[in-house]
Amino acid sequence: MGDIHIRVEGHPDDVHSVTAKLADRFFSPTRSHEPIQQLPESLMDPLTTITVISAGLDLIDKFRSMALSMMRRDIKPPSVEAKKKGDLIEISMNGHVTNRIAATDLKMSEWDDVRYNALSTKVKRYWKQFNDIDVALASASPDEKSRLEVKMDEVRHELCISFREMLRIYEKTLGMQLGDHYSLYAVCGVDCPT
């Protein structure tokens, strides 16, 4: 039987708790062959989750504005906005607050640390490429500009896929769907996975 490698990140007390549960489960003399009953859903606390969701939604807004501008499309203000206010997220529709979701109301069982971290890593890489291409387009020759625009479309497509998956995690955790502009329909169309 091969070695098992497990990496757990988070608060040291949480890490020790998970390590102790795994050790008890796998190295106990009375160890059964039944699967592990349940590990912690997320090592991230609700207040941190509110901050992460808010920052992610802000980045989606920046990407939307920048992509629409590059596509030479009108940038209309979104009808729905989600903003962090203290320990909650306020959802506004047409400038009026319609929902307030407190950190204590989050559905933390829907938060997937591992998948979110993978998506976050991808988004950081593609966001840097997206901005680098934007800078390069300003001084590119016509031939180079065509090549860069094709690359920009590829990067935009990858960002659309990752942002939409992140949005699904946010919406599940918040317990509600957010506006269409967060789904990036104006930027990504309907052919990108949602």
Give 104-125 pLDDT, tens digit per residue. 999 999 999 999 999 999 999 9
Say if strands 80-85 and 96-102 run parallel, antiparallel, or are unpaired. unpaired
- First vs last C-alpha separation in the chain: 40
| Segments making up each domain of the chain, as ranges | 1-40, 46-188
- CA-CA distance, 24 to 61, in Å (whole number)? 46
Rg (CA), the chain: 21
H/E stretch holding 46? helix 46-70
Give 49-105 pLDDT, tens digit per residue. 999 999 999 999 999 889 888 888 777 777 788 999 999 999 998 889 999 999 999
Q: Give the per-residue pLDDT at 96.
A: 92
